[in-house]
Amino acid sequence: MSKEIILEDILGIAKKYYASICCDPDRWFKHALQVRDLSLKIFDDTKRLNLHGMSGNERFWLEAAAILHDIGRSKDQDKHHIYSREIILKSKRLKEKIGDDNLDKIAWIAFFHRRKPDPRKYDDPDWVKLLESSKGSMLLMLISILRIADALDRTTSQVVRNVETKLDNNSIVFKLETRGNAFIEIARAYEKSELFKQVFKKDIVITE
């Protein structure tokens, strides 16, 4: 089955859960799509810059996790990352179509989208097993990209329209195309950049 068809299912699941968030559900679905678009742009740009060797499979995990990362808000706002992971893992429809292995990775990427907990120190046995596997470093990269993208829509108002990623000496530069004041987004992206800087072994600069 093609990834395009599976992504249609993922979008359907996302709409269902975002629609059940008590306050302004449309806002959270739009936020999820914005985070997806920014995540994929950063993934593609960093690949073009030879900063990682990840392929279409990893890109799919990132896209799915970005779309679903906030669905746990339908259950609990403060612990939404926990519920997002649980909902993803319990999806029979997705499990049948992409298998437990892919679903597990998507669920963990979504789980770690917040600034904390630290995936490098998180001691859940299932996560530790994944982290120590051959895909561990890639998963950390994907999580770090999702964190930056999520921060760039901190106000859920899509003030950051696009991001272009470049290299400047030993820094990765995120050049933002904005449609208003992006101060909050930029500040939050710096706050959530620690993992990104560590796994890509570079400083970051964010400009408009």
The whole-angstrom separation of Cα 97 and Cα 23 is 32
Average pLDDT along the chain, 208 residues, taken 10 residues at a time: 82 93 85 98 98 96 98 92 97 92 97 96 96 97 98 97 96 97 98 98 97
Which pLDDT score is estimated for 1?
Answer: 57
Amino acid identity, position 194: E
Query: Alpha helices, DSSP H only, in the chain?
Result: 3-18, 25-48, 56-68, 80-89, 92-111, 125-131, 136-151, 183-191, 194-200
Domain boundaries, the chain: 3-153
Which pLDDT score is estimated for 39?
Answer: 98
Amino acid identity, position 70: D
Which pLDDT score is estimated for 4?
Answer: 77
Amino acid identity, position 126: D
| CATH architecture type of domain 3-153 | Orthogonal Bundle (1.10)
Q: Of 107, 118, 108, whose CA–CA distance to 196 is shortest?
A: 118
